[in-house]
Structure 1
């Protein structure tokens, strides 16, 4: 007669973490489907299979949950970014790294709508805007740091600073991702490769200009 192991009983902390994660996952789906402003606590708790009491045992508000969701998503993106720029198997050219960066952190990132909702919310809520702006700055600074390391490793120096290039690439990729959502057949990987090839070629042959020191705070999300 076959014996079955008894299911492991979760500790109180594990149970709380599981509830919290399910609420976050449910909220992510609701926000991306209906938008942050239109989403209600009832929508989120129903999708997660919990009550309002369970929600307030884990989060003080819908906004607090949204910020944690963004923070976790940013941590995941930064982990992918580190893996890309630390990948020694990639070709030794800026274009190769930027293509991987676009594919991993933008093209294949399902969180674009989530962050678009956050940007809209930041324009309407000054308290949220301050926290969201800090997330955007951290992301931009991480990109700046990795681009600076790539330039130092590969050379020659770019005619713009790493901070300027990071901001420009973020704006470019966000715009391309938006168009990709509307018309994925139009924004192909081949098109992106052509854009980056020309961008890298022009950057390496242009005359030097005044640069911004790495680490300079650049306002984003305004």
Structure 2
């Protein structure tokens, strides 16, 4: 069988992607500060030279990981909007996208690492904050679009709902990762679905056949924690 040869550019892109994948794995296992460039290159099977021909620093690598995750999320949302245009209703898919926690926990950890770094590194903070504002602006636009397609007025400005949605999701990720017994994945996802369903689509939310109304949420909370929620 004839061996397929790849171009120099394709080889460089492949090396870059493997370094990113390896960095994500090592960052999640060891933490950003405890990870060295050697840890990343060893996990990817490359040399330091290969690393520095693709990234100027470990910080740059982290930023590219965040950008890659964000671009994937934007692709998902654009797909939801496309389906909404074709079928007339993207609410269910939007709820599933924003509510799922388990798949995204690895990305939540990366964002925690990035925020800790931003708190200590003014140069990284400037890039992180610009990226964060970009995310908020895009999410705001999506919330407006979903509201228009659902035909429901927003109870608050879209900008405020975007901040609330991001803050709620980040907080639930953290609770679920650290204390999954108190905030299991199903409960956290129901809270997310309820917020998005009521605030954006103006109705109780149903995700994967499970209605996230107040009665269902109350039944999922341990009796000794209901008053706290």
Which stretches of structure 1, 4 residues or longer, exceed 6 Å deviation after superposition? none
Q: Secondary structure at the match of 2:155?
A: coil
Match of 2:67 among 71, 81, 87: 71
Aligned-residue CA RMSD (Å): 2.7
Question: Aligned partners of 1:194, 1:123: CA distance in 2, in Å?
Answer: 29
Q: Secondary structure at the match of 2:33?
A: coil
Question: Aligned partners of 2:76, 2:122: CA distance in 1, in Å?
Answer: 30
* TM-score, length of structure 1 as denominator length: 0.78
Alignment coverage as a number of residue pairs: 199
Q: Secondary structure at the match of 1:25?
A: helix
Q: Structure 2: 5+ residue runs without aligned partners? A: 204-229
Compute the displacement of 1:180 (Å).
1.6
Larger fraction in helix: 2
Point out which structure has higher relative CO (alpha carbons under 8 A, 6+ apart). Answer: 1
- The alignment status of 1:193 with 2:179, answered yes or no, reads no
Per-residue deviation, residues 122-173 of structure 1 (Å, max 9, x unmatched)? 1011111111112111111111101111222333422310110110011011
Contact 1:98 1:196 in 2 (8 A): no
- The alignment status of 1:40 with 2:36, answered yes or no, reads yes
Question: Aligned partners of 1:51, 1:62: CA distance in 2, in Å?
Answer: 14
The structure-2 alpha-carbon separation of the partners of 1:149 and 1:202, relative to structure 1 and needing over 3 Å to count, comes to closer
The structure-2 alpha-carbon separation of the partners of 1:90 and 1:128, relative to structure 1 and needing over 3 Å to count, comes to farther
Compute the displacement of 1:182 (Å).
2.3
Q: Structure 1: 5+ residue runs without aligned partners? A: 206-222
Task: Report the equivalent of 1:129.
Answer: 125
* TM-score, length of structure 2 as denominator length: 0.76
Q: Secondary structure at the match of 2:34?
A: coil
Matches within 5 A, 1:196-215: 196-197=193-194, 200-201=197-198
